Amino acid sequence: MRSLLTLLLFVAGIARGEQVACTIHATEDGGKISRHLYGHFAEHLGRCVYDGIWVGEDSDIPNKNGVRTDIIDALKAIKIPNLRWPGGCFADDYHWRDGIGPVEERPKRINIHWGQEVETNAFGTHEFLNLCEELGAEPYLAGNVGSGTPQELRDWVEYITYDGDSELANLRRSHGREKPWKLKYLGVGNENWGCGGDMRPEYYADLYRRYAMFCRDFSGNELYRVACGPSGFDKNWNQVVMQRAHRQMQGYSLHYYTLAAPWSDKRPATGFDEEAWFSILRDSLQMRRAIHEAEDAMDPVDPDKRIGLIVDEWGTWYRGEPGTPGYALYQQNTLRDALVAGLTLHIFHENNERVVMANLAQTVNVLQALILTDGPKMALTPTYHVLDLFKVHHDAKRLPVDVGAVDYKYRDQKIPAISVSASTKEAGVIDVSIVNTHAREAVSVSFDLDGATAKEVTSKVLNAEELDAHNTFDEPGRLQPKAFDGARIVDGDVKVDMPPRSIVVIALRLD
């Protein structure tokens, strides 16, 4: 009886909800959606690395060479394309020689940025690069510009990538790695306008040119050097760094966090109302503005888009969970965060001519984490499930989509209720991801396939009744994707009845 009542309420909601028409241009080429837009970020911060990724070979928790096997399996399942390390703010106080050689001989240092915890350096260069190999992910190193030297960063590159007979290559061999690793992505500094040195853009641009000059390609390895960009909206930083240093860079970074509150009074991750739901989703859409402001500075000096925009820190940032230290940045992850992820990834897709890589902050136990751990327990977050659903877009051809206007109105403000992205990489199949931001109302979405005809549709949905629905260690499977019967083909068009606060991914098989 209860299930019947739920169904009737759902149908009534569809009847009361908005309707919107969309067109997918099935024969047009919107460029490639790089798999690297789905990258991740692991910093020596809180319990991301230690107790999260790394437990050590002597741990009772199942591990492979010190890395939790459940973490490895979970990251492989979503085909993690790249991993950024060791920071973040930590990078500009990290000296790579501390993290090589016998673990018991590595020096202990103070992590000045994150609680002044003692850093054991048990997880260093070899551990990180071996993990990337295990995952099939490209390593992305953040180099120390704030407290380091060009010589130190240049030596790190040689240690990792040189295949000849040099002191540094032989030092690597003495530590157990005969052949060099491949290293493509190298960040030259991190947040150098803030924790990376409190620099002016003019000073950083000159430093970047100096560091980039000494970071060379060894033994056939080709570096993709990434300059430090702004936090969100800083037109002056964009313009100065691009004008002074664009010739020496292959990539330019951007950081944008969704706060919807001052830094001093960040919102809780759970227990929120519709106002907090709306404001976070509204502010996540400002990613589009941040990208366009960066492009405004990049396009005049790089009209051919040789330089890629790298959004190497993004995600939601809330108040730390009760009982956890503030510097650990440990927060729960809810359905709201899943929608933020969906909306943000769609923005990356639509800007794929310039945005070539992105890194969600962070992989485990920090900020908008994919995975939470507590001793041997592990929980996959709603955000993890979005990246799992959206992996159909990896390296696919983007299909342009015209989305009709339908708004989610809250008090005197509004945002688009529906966000859509479509792609194809398998002949005869179109994958479509759809987000309904509305907290209360369903939306009926119809798709006209311009240039194609669908004969079959399958779909999955991620949604819940509660705005702050989330997974816990006691109920790790409470919120996860499930089969969805609200998508169908009617007279050649595809109809999708989007429940409130939902993400739906559909696969269309064509005639």
**CA nearest to 206, candidates 195, 197, 217:** 197
Q: Are residues 10 and 50 in the same domain?
A: no
CA 106, chain centre distance (Å): 31
The amino acid at 206: D
- End of a domain among 320, 345, 376? 376
pLDDT at 82: 98
**What is the tally of structural domains in the chain?**
2
Residue 445 lies in a domain: yes
Q: Are residues 359 and 459 in the same domain?
A: no
Q: Are strands 355-361 and 39-41 parallel, antiparallel or unpaired?
A: parallel
Question: SS3 of 111, please?
Answer: strand
Mean pLDDT, to the nearest integer, of 159-187?
A: 98
pLDDT at 265: 77
Instruction: Give the CATH number for residue 87.
Output: 3.20.20.80
Residue 405 lies in a domain: yes
Which residue carries 């790249």 as its tokens? Answer: 82
Specify the range with the lowest mean pLDDT, choosing from 263-272, 314-323, 346-355: 263-272
Residue 23 lies in a domain: yes
DSSP 220: T
Q: Are residues 157 and 177 in the same domain?
A: yes
Distance CA 204, CA 210 (A): 10
pLDDT at 492: 82
Query: Residue 145: pLDDT above 70?
Result: yes
pLDDT at 281: 98
Which helix (H) or strand (E) covers residue 388, if one does?
Answer: helix 382-389
Residue 343 lies in a domain: no
Helix 287-301 to helix 335-350 angle, to the nearest 10 degrees? 20
Q: Are residues 59 and 9 in the same domain?
A: no
3-state secondary structure labels for all residues of 121-139? CCCCHHHHHHHHHHHCCEE
Q: Are residues 37 and 25 in the same domain?
A: no
pLDDT at 14: 39
Confidence of residue 3 (pLDDT cuts 50, 70, 90): very low
pLDDT at 4: 39
Residue 214 lies in a domain: yes
pLDDT at 6: 35
- State which residues form the domain around 249: 33-69+78-268+286-329+353-376
Confidence of residue 8 (pLDDT cuts 50, 70, 90): very low
- Check: CB of residue 332 under 8 Å from CB of residue 475: no
User: Of 43, 313, 350, 441, which is the active-site residue?
Assistant: 313
Gyration radius from the chain CA atoms: 23
Mean pLDDT, to the nearest integer, of 178-200?
A: 98
- Check: CB of residue 188 under 8 Å from CB of residue 208: yes
Residue 407 lies in a domain: yes
Two structure tokens written together for 333: 């992850």
Query: Residue 210: pLDDT above 80?
Result: yes
Query: Residue 171: pLDDT above 60?
Result: yes
pLDDT at 5: 35
Instruction: Give the CATH number for residue 473.
Output: 2.60.40.1180
- Judge whether 313 counts as a catalytic residue: yes
Query: Residue 500: pLDDT above 70?
Result: yes
Handedness of CA 446, 450, 456, 458 (dihedral sign): negative
Query: Residue 152: pLDDT above 70?
Result: yes
Residue 393 lies in a domain: no
Q: Are residues 311 and 182 in the same domain?
A: yes
Residue 386 lies in a domain: no
The amino acid at 321: E
Confidence of residue 511 (pLDDT cuts 50, 70, 90): confident
Mean pLDDT, to the nearest integer, of 140-159?
A: 98
pLDDT at 261: 75
Q: Are residues 52 and 181 in the same domain?
A: yes
User: Of 117, 158, 191, 350, which is the active-site residue?
Assistant: 191
Encode pLDDT of 73-108 as tens digits: 999 999 999 999 999 999 999 999 999 999 999 999
Q: Are residues 9 and 51 in the same domain?
A: no
Percent of the chain with pLDDT over 70: 97
- Judge whether 202 counts as a catalytic residue: no
- End of a domain among 376, 410, 440? 376
Percent of the chain with pLDDT over 90: 93
Confidence of residue 11 (pLDDT cuts 50, 70, 90): very low
- End of a domain among 376, 391, 414? 376
Distance CA 414, CA 281 (A): 11
Confidence of residue 2 (pLDDT cuts 50, 70, 90): very low
Encode pLDDT of 290-312 as tens digits: 999 999 999 999 999 999 999 99
Mean pLDDT, to the nearest integer, of 10-36?
A: 81
Mean pLDDT, to the nearest integer, of 221-250?
A: 97
Q: Are residues 415 and 371 in the same domain?
A: no
Confidence of residue 408 (pLDDT cuts 50, 70, 90): very high
Handedness of CA 386, 72, 63, 122 (dihedral sign): negative
What are the backbone dihedrals phi and psi of residue 379, each rounded to the nearest 5 degrees, phi first? -135, 130
CA dihedral 291, 294, 300, 305 (to 10 degrees): -60
Distance CA 65, CA 91 (A): 23
Mean pLDDT, to the nearest integer, of 339-357?
A: 98
Q: Are residues 362 and 407 in the same domain?
A: no
Specify the range with the lowest mean pLDDT, choosing from 14-18, 254-258, 342-346: 14-18
pLDDT at 13: 38
Q: Are residues 371 and 427 in the same domain?
A: no
Query: Residue 479: pLDDT above 60?
Result: yes
Q: Are residues 131 and 261 in the same domain?
A: yes
Query: Residue 58: pLDDT above 60?
Result: yes
Higher pLDDT, 280 or 10: 280
**CA nearest to 292, candidates 226, 358, 245, 232:** 232
Two structure tokens written together for 408: 């989610």
This prediction's pTM: 0.94
